[in-house]
Structure 1
Amino acid sequence: MLRNYLKIAWRNLAKNRVYSGINVFGLAMGMACALLVGLWLSDELSYNRYVPDADRVFLVRVNYNLNGGETQTAYATPGPLQAAIARDIPQVMGTTKLTWPTEGLVRVGNRVAKEQGQYASASFFDVFDLPAVQGNPKVALANPNQIVISQTMAAKYFPAGQAIGQTLQLDNSRVFVVGAVLKDLPATSTLAFDWLANFTVQEQPWQNQWGFNSVQTYLRLRPDVSSAQAETAMRGLFRRYATFDNKERIVLQPITDLHLWGEYENGVAVGGQIEYVRIFAVVALFILLLACINFMNLSTARSAVRAKEVGVRKVIGSSRRGLMGQFLSESVLLCAVGAGVALGMVWFTLPEFNAVFDKHLTLDLTDPLRWAGIIGLVLITGLLAGSYPALFLSGLTPLSILKGAGWRPASRGPVQLRRMLVVFQFALSTFLLIGMLGIGQQMTYLRTKHLGLDRDNMIYVRLEGKLDDYEKTEAFRQVLLQAPSVAGATTTAHLPLNIQSRSTDLQWPGRNPKQLVEVSAMSVGNDFIKTTGIRLIAGRDFRPNSYADTSAYIINEAAAKLMGMTKPVGQPITFWFGKGPIIGLMKDFHLNSLHQSIGPLVLTYMPPNGQYLMVKPRHGQTPQALADLERLLKQFNPTYPFAYHFLDEAYEDLYHREQQVTTLVTSFGLLAILISCLGLFALAAFTAEQRTKEIGVRKVLGASVSSIVTLLSKDFLVLVLIAIALAVPLAWWALRAWLSSFAYRIDTAWWLFALAGLLAVTIALLTVSVQSIKAALMNPVRSLRSE
């Protein structure tokens, strides 16, 4: 029976090549989107699941109570916390602390390159039981003279194959012996290192103070302990050891949630990448639904053509169930052909998809689960797309069909359904079109907004190697300033558009001692204000090489407002380096992404704390400035390769996820419009075909081409206008919700929605007009002889 169904289905598809081709292409695009997003979702949901017993491994976070009752959740923790947990909490079977990932210069013979690594406590492998290729990683990490490296790094620096016992030099200073080689971490890992060294090698005194959140802390729970039980047991750790009490509370985040749930509000995980997972899934589902709607539209539109076939089949004994099986078989077969085309589309677009979304996805057709997913997609899509046509056509009455009369009144149902489906298609297309325009406007706003400092062509390099020494850095800066291509140069501890350092140490006269205040803080070197172009409202910049200014401070407007100072210059405050005067008030500039409001900032003058050298080229001389910078760096720091970045790049990185959403909505929006136009084109063609005789009569009676085009187009135009009316309020709500995550954003102006509606109407009219004009220009003699 199934074989007979498929044979008849194939004949029907071959007989109607145009409509079948449109359906196959539409279904293929819908399924290609579903497959691409399915691969992406599978990858997103698999982060850190490679870790053995990953459900028992947690990142330690700390909730702090700020003024106003707000709770802030810190990602970083104090250095002594790890030892306190290991000592006092029996529910924990292993705990470790890590530094933030850093790039170290690795040298083995003539091979020199920067590799990303971390410093971890000796108990790291008690928490992360990662597989080793060579050696014993636990023993190696416990030895400060040994280093653990990845399989890729071992192959790169020790191509002979035996890395154990070999030596490498890190940052032109310390020599390590390779003690173990780990299997490469998968791309779905939030841990990111190619080398791992003992924490004590780089340990500083301040990293052992409870007041500095300087490390990441992870732990592994015992099998019979829940995270809630462990959190309860850890209450009071800060009160027991720290000299302050801000009612800190430890919260444990599963490592399987780190990638998707990175944002906390008032101590609770509220979102992050999971929001984009939902958006991707919903948009892909809508695109697939549009393709199914095209199939339903064309199938019900052509029901009159197949009505006699149904009548004959019923007369000779076919049951309704058998007819439904026949039509569903045709739908599934069409989807199977579309799936083959979709796989080709996925294979072709996957490299570009990976580049845009920073993935390493592959279309592995040797995986049985992947084939199960593809087959499931074909069956679900085929049954969904063919459900209504099968129900409708199999329910026709044979007597009325064969008489040629009773079937037509019953066609109101499918006509109304087709109209509803067209409205849904164009409502979704208009919704995505508004999203494309709105998100594009916001991204343009982010790129062009003046941030309160000069970021255009600003170059920065890391201070490393010999330039770790302040005197050598200052000598290098002075020589660099003599280059005609350089307008300014300064050193900073953080990039000014992404200041991550926070402090609760700020004190001022009249402050409520019970008030907990957190401010951003940054150490800067000579000429910071001048180089960055930040505007000073009052006071002065730090004086170059002034020891007295190391206990002086510059604040922004937000900090002055926080302290209630209308004229802050000259007022005393107490901060990192003791009590000192405010010597400058600078205009607010953006400290982080535009998701966040500008907060209070305190600048301290401490040139030895510089991590970056920022260089401002003269106008139009950026290439020469880069050449001068490279030449001088090779003189002052010859053992390190020249590596530079632009501040604009760092700023763009703050909106990486937004760029991905922009690409997604734009691509899928255009795809939705294309699929909708395919369906509308086919429906217009079918409508014109059904009204061939009417068009001929009208032309004989003197109707003009324009009047016939208007006649054939107006019904579709009304449907598109209804779709726009439905889409605009939904799009307004969704766009406002997305924009609400930005502290600084565009206004949702009326013209944005009007433009999207105009584009939707124009696209629909162009699509319908092609068939309408063709029908209107047909010779009326041929039209009247068509029946």
Structure 2
Amino acid sequence: MISESAMVAGLIAGTGIVPIDSTNISLMFRHSLLLIFRNFKKFRTTFLINLIGLSSGLACAMLICLWVMDEWRMDKNFPHDARILHVLGNHHQTAGIKTSLHTPGVLAEALKQDFPEVEYAVATRPPGTMPKFTIGTGTESFKARHLFASQDYFRIFPFPLADGNPEKALSGKESILLSESMARKMFHTTEGLIGKPVTWQQKRQFTISGIFRDLPPNVSEPYDYILSYDIFLKEFNVHWDNHNAMTFVMLKPGADVGAFNKKIADYINTKIDFTSVKLSTQRHSENYLYGNFTNGVQDGGRIEYVRLFSLVAIFILLIASINFMNLSTARASRRMKEVGVKKAIGAGKGSLIFQYLGESVLISFISFIVALAAVYLLLPFFNTVTAKQLTLFADMRLIGFFAVLTLATGLLAGSYPALYLSGFRPVAILKGNFTSSLRELWVRKGLVVFQFSISIVLILAVIVVFMQLRYVQNKNMGYDRENVVYFFKEGPMKEESRLFMQRLRELPGVVNASNATGNVTTHWGTTTGVEWPGKDKDANIEFGCQSIDVGFIETMGLQMAQGRSYSADFPSDSSGLIINEAAVAVMGLSDPVGKEVTFWGDKCKIIGVVKNFHFKSVHKAMSPWLYYFRPDQASAVVARLRPENTKETVARIESLIREMNPGSVPELKFMDEDFQAVYQTESRVGVLSRYFAGIAILISCLGLFGLAAFSAERRMKEISIRKVLGGSGAHIIYLLSADFTKLVLVAICVALPIGYWIASNWLDTFAYRIELQWWYFVVAGMFALAIAWLTVGSQAVKAARTNPVRHLKD
């Protein structure tokens, strides 16, 4: 005879019901975990789909959040961030207001003297505006990024010094400060270097006055050494009409930024006549994300991509969560008899809620652990794509946030089976009188439509970004950038420029070479100092301008529309100008060659017109441009190489540079690489969008696969009866696929208008862009439909091939 205790033990072992008292809580918890793992094993397909989908979504969201947080932190590591302002120059021109980060190099000192609310003012010339210069120890030389900065730099930007006095480090005109990394590179130590000499450009000697800590990764323009701004004042042309520096001010506590902007707006007018520049300020830490201005008004910038990828992270996480919830609720309806039996023999609602929520939360946290591992493994690759130095555990608040988010996802996904099913009467369930509600079915279908709509929008985005980038790569920019190298002159090579150019042109593999101020894509200037007959006296038009030498037009592959390029056969070319077609249109000249114009106060003649070329990004419209003949002012050399044996030719050029300029470090750059760098943001967006779109599709298809398998399982008796009555396999496949096909078609109808709006807005940021073609939308929709058919079809074919006897005998 079976004892009462044995019967209770049997009930406990069979149903998972443990009497609730203080001595059995631990046993109940362990037994619930056992049941949870048994259910994972029983429904292993659902478990794996949930695990892969949710961990993929969490991993994507984590990677994007790491990137977004790094963008947000850029230039925000200063204690007085709210008081540090970047002074901007608003150039009022005929075409509108152009906002520039550059201001006159003498502005900072004047602002400090004339405005009492300014606590400190600093002028800088950052590394992004000039080429790298050579510094050395006398025995070794290095190319490194520099910064010219005035005396109060460390008062505004208090980067810590490992050695030296920050208040006096920039007070000497012959002082130089090295970063710790630069110091180790040059001297193999960071200690005892104060007072040691350092050579600059092989001709000047500076004394080390400080060693600063390596800059944090969230500094937008890093540099390796700092020179006194007085060197820049002496070496370069600095005056009120030359905007070649950046000006930063730190206001005194309590100073009103708006009132300060009004006071300085016309300040340059008090220093120079006939200027069209008005000043304003922007918080320094905002410039990185909010760096675009339209007609003098802040108008987006990198913040647009931060917002875009934040939305992508949210949507991918939503897709993964929707999958999790859909499959959890769908699979829960298959466990109703289990719920009925448990409730019939005395299981309380609390124990059922605990079990179902426990299953959901446990899956979520297993997914969270898998996602952390995936992010850790993928982060080096992600850093390569984004050009970042992100680390997973740098900010534990992010990990904590995702842990809480994971818990919330698990609770939300498990709330339906836990609260909804546990509330049913067991008799109704055991009699089979329960069916899924219509509302539940429509919610599930709506969630499928939502997640596929997001996936289709991402697919369309990938297509549009790819086509626009291909358009940019293949567009005729008006010059030939292939096999063209450039480098900057310094030291004896600059002083013996004619001899160097003569020997350079004679090198095997060099087709042509010339001097220039920078190249086509970088390091050129602008001016409004151009006058011509018939010019409107109120017109203020900005021209791009560049000093060049004989052979530059030919070296760059520019095409002449009229006239000729500079030639050694014409000594008068020193007063000649070459302009582009956009300049001809702006000036309104019908026959420009031979016309006399005034450039920077000098009378000049137009000797030629080049066809328009894109010297800026295709984000900007074509601008008027002029070349002037000043070889002595040219800071760079451009050379066209033969396509064969370019490595050998580059080696010959580097050898010539070292011979002409002992101690120098040759640094040749290919112009096509510079061209790629102009569009690196768009390229990174394109690469990331492909990966994230692929993951979104994968997660959506996993959910669809799970739902299709669940639908086929529920309808197996119906399918078996149809097969017995003569139903064909093709009809059964159609029967199971039709409902999901309708959902994807609805998703296509929802997604394409949204995708069109997003793509149009993004393309509007380009002055030269592709037109949206109808087939982009067809491909996006058909791709999503094909993936859905493949996913659902695999389950439909499996169901159609099943032996009907196996299910009819149950």
Query: TM-score, normalization: structure 2?
Result: 0.92
Paired with 2:650 and 2:186, the residues of 1 have a C-alpha distance of 30
Pair 1:131-2:160 in alignment: yes
Q: Match for residue 675 of structure 1?
A: 699
Which stretch shifts more, 540-549 or 640-649? 540-549
Aligned with 2:431 (options 391, 403, 422): 403
Q: Match for residue 807 of structure 2?
A: 783
Pair 1:53-2:80 in alignment: yes
What letter matches 1:434 in structure 2?
L
Deviation at 1:690, TM superposition (A): 1.2
**8 Å CA contact retained: 2:264, 2:280:** no
Call closer, same or farther: CA 1:638–1:397 in 2, change over 3 Å. farther
Q: Superposed, which structure 2 residues align to 1:199-348 within 5 Å? A: 199-204=229-234, 207-246=237-276, 248-312=277-341, 323-324=352-353, 326-348=355-377
Secondary structure of the 1:169 match is strand
Secondary structure of the 2:170 match is helix
Aligned with 2:686 (options 658, 662, 672): 662
Q: Match for residue 768 of structure 1?
A: 792
Q: Match for residue 550 of structure 1?
A: 574
**8 Å CA contact retained: 2:266, 2:279:** no
- Cα deviation 1:235-292 (Å, max 9, x = unaligned): 331121122232x332211122121111111222221111111111100111110101
Q: Superposed, which structure 2 residues align to 1:452-491 within 5 Å? A: 452-469=478-495, 472-491=496-515
- Cα deviation 1:580-631 (Å, max 9, x = unaligned): 1111011101110110111110111111122221111234343343233233
Paired with 2:411 and 2:566, the residues of 1 have a C-alpha distance of 72
Q: Superposed, which structure 2 residues align to 1:682-701 within 5 Å? A: 682-701=706-725
**8 Å CA contact retained: 1:105, 1:640:** yes
Secondary structure of the 1:97 match is strand
Deviation at 1:545, TM superposition (A): 7.8
Deviation at 1:24, TM superposition (A): 1.0
Deviation at 1:766, TM superposition (A): 1.1
Q: Match for residue 404 of structure 2?
A: 376
What letter matches 2:445 in structure 1?
R
Paired with 2:675 and 2:78, the residues of 1 have a C-alpha distance of 33
Paired with 2:601 and 2:470, the residues of 1 have a C-alpha distance of 41
Which stretch shifts more, 80-89 or 636-645? 636-645
Q: Superposed, which structure 2 residues align to 1:490-529 within 5 Å? A: 490-498=514-522, 500-529=524-553
Secondary structure of the 1:192 match is coil
Secondary structure of the 1:26 match is helix
Call closer, same or farther: CA 1:475–1:387 in 2, change over 3 Å. farther
- Cα deviation 1:544-567 (Å, max 9, x = unaligned): 385522221111111110011121
Call closer, same or farther: CA 1:556–1:9 in 2, change over 3 Å. same
What letter matches 2:144 in structure 1?
E
**8 Å CA contact retained: 2:93, 2:542:** yes
Which stretch shifts more, 273-282 or 495-504? 495-504
Q: Match for residue 425 of structure 1?
A: 451
Paired with 2:60 and 2:282, the residues of 1 have a C-alpha distance of 32
Secondary structure of the 1:487 match is strand
Q: Name structure 2 gaps, 5 residues minimum.
A: 1-19
Paired with 1:532 and 1:316, the residues of 2 have a C-alpha distance of 88
Query: TM-score, normalization: structure 1?
Result: 0.95
Pair 1:85-2:111 in alignment: yes
Paired with 1:499 and 1:191, the residues of 2 have a C-alpha distance of 17
Secondary structure of the 1:78 match is coil
Call closer, same or farther: CA 1:551–1:117 in 2, change over 3 Å. same
Q: Match for residue 385 of structure 1?
A: 413
**8 Å CA contact retained: 2:265, 2:280:** no
Secondary structure of the 1:538 match is strand
- Cα deviation 1:429-473 (Å, max 9, x = unaligned): 11111111111111111111111111112111222232222xx22
Aligned with 1:96 (options 104, 119, 122): 122
**8 Å CA contact retained: 1:300, 1:389:** yes
Q: Name structure 1 gaps, 5 residues minimum.
A: none
Secondary structure of the 1:142 match is coil
Call closer, same or farther: CA 1:178–1:453 in 2, change over 3 Å. same
**8 Å CA contact retained: 1:695, 1:783:** no
Secondary structure of the 1:745 match is coil
Call closer, same or farther: CA 1:437–1:388 in 2, change over 3 Å. farther
Call closer, same or farther: CA 1:686–1:574 in 2, change over 3 Å. same
Q: Match for residue 777 of structure 2?
A: 753
Call closer, same or farther: CA 1:65–1:392 in 2, change over 3 Å. farther
Call closer, same or farther: CA 1:200–1:298 in 2, change over 3 Å. same
Paired with 2:237 and 2:105, the residues of 1 have a C-alpha distance of 5
Aligned with 1:28 (options 51, 55, 60): 55
Secondary structure of the 1:214 match is coil
**8 Å CA contact retained: 1:520, 1:601:** yes
Identity %: 37
What letter matches 1:497 in structure 2?
T
Secondary structure of the 1:271 match is coil
Paired with 2:504 and 2:266, the residues of 1 have a C-alpha distance of 53
Call closer, same or farther: CA 1:131–1:774 in 2, change over 3 Å. same
